Amino acid sequence: MIYLDYAATSPMSMNAIKAYAEAAEKAPGNSSSLHDIGGRAAELLEASRHAIASCLGGDPKGIYFTGCGSEASILAIVSLLNGVADPKKREIIYSAMEHSSITNFMAHLEGHGYIVKKALPDGSGRITSEQLSPLLTENTALVTIQHGNSETGIVQDIGPLCHSLKERGILFHSDCVQTFCKIPIEVKEWNLDAVSISAHKICGPKGIGAAWINPGTAWKPALPGTTHEKGFRGGTADVPGACSFAVAAKELSGSMSQNASRLKELRAYLKRQLRAAGIKAEFAEGEDPYQLPGIAGLILEKTEGQYALLTCNQRGIAISAGSACQAGMQKPSAAVVSLGYSDEEALRFIRVSMAPSTAEAELLAFTNALSAC
């Protein structure tokens, strides 16, 4: 089967699999145990923490392992809000293009006394200071803006946003699950308060993610009394998963530039083939350089996205009709609608997401399958 759904998840690399197996075999202990076997597991966990932090340009003390990227986002947001000293600061801003896990959690916070505001993107799909400024007040506690959208691939310039918010004493979190190790992230240079990342998007294992919180930023645990991960999260640390995560991150970050160049070539090839086949489709995308090259979001002229997905699947090609976390819900993507498309147009959305190993022949097969819709 031809796999063109890497934004949903990616197959583990052989080095990540090897790292997982070796850690599971040679360091089976609980990293919190005081004996030597536990100590060995703790050493590997700390080494993994340092490796992942180096890919973010941040202090390893700020890395907290979680069960996934969504959990990392939710725990980071709650922990930051818990650390806000001023009780009047009860306002939160999020973008209309956030992952469903954050969007749904915003509704939860709204039901618990927070004032939640949604920032809409400009005509190019970006959230800028112009979009945020009218929403900010002296009671704004936190802003969360996704770095790269999982459906359209549009990238936000979060560095300048964070610096401007810092001047007003407002916390900033970014969901970097789709961008980690694919485009540069510099948490220290950008002065970020917190980011969330995930292993399975970068050829690591499923079931492990991480939050990075600036060691200089105040926070309090989401669940009081938690002892693992310095109080950030309960549960025995997944040492093999962390080791595999670290290996995958170092492997991918080391070839980031080459991978981006290859993906740009593939994306350009896909556009040429669609034109050559006479397929009328509009790319929902950002202006260069604010676009992840591995993601191509298409609004088809007449065909509904889920029908195109099923047609491709029958021909042995895996694509998506949007975020995998919302697949099958039969409703238009909020991220696509926020770009100005109608609900009907958003239902004609499909996503092709590639890896550097994707072959031109695979994209040609996809184009041929789409022609049959």
* Cα angle 18-177-213, degrees, rounded to a multiple of 5: 100
Active site residue 55: no
Nearest to 245 by CA among 8, 12, 9, 33: 12
Give just the sign of the alpha carbon dihedral 272, 373, 153, 181: negative
Task: Count the Cβ atoms, other than its own, within 10 Å of residue 80.
Answer: 25
Q: Are the C-beta atoms of 63 and 57 separated by less than 8 Å?
A: no
Axis crossing angle, helix 239-253 with helix 14-26, rounded to the nearest 10: 150
Cis amide bond preceding 221, omega within 30: no
Two structure tokens written together for 13? 């690399």
Q: In what order do the strands lie in the sheet with 115-119?
A: 63-66, 209-213, 194-198, 171-175, 140-144, 91-95, 115-119
**Distance in angstroms (rounded) separating the CA atoms of residues 211 and 196:** 4
| Secondary structure class of 116 (helix, strand, coil) | strand
Q: How far apart (Å, rounded) are the C-alpha atoms in residues 77 and 359?
A: 39
Q: Which residues contact 246 (CB under 8 A, 6 or more apart)?
A: 19, 47, 48, 49, 51, 52
What is the largest distance, in Å, between two alpha-carbon atoms of the chain?
66
Rounded distance, CA 218 to CA 85, Å? 9
Q: Indicate the residue type of 81.
A: L
For 47-91, the DSSP string reads HHHHHHHHHHTS-GGGEEEESSHHHHHHHHHHHHHHT---TT--E
How far is it, in rounded angstroms, from Cα 109 to Cα 267? 39
Residue of 55, 68, 181, 325 marked catalytic: 325
Helix axes 100-110, 69-82, angle to 10 degrees: 30
Residues β-bridged to residue 154: 291
Active site residues: 325
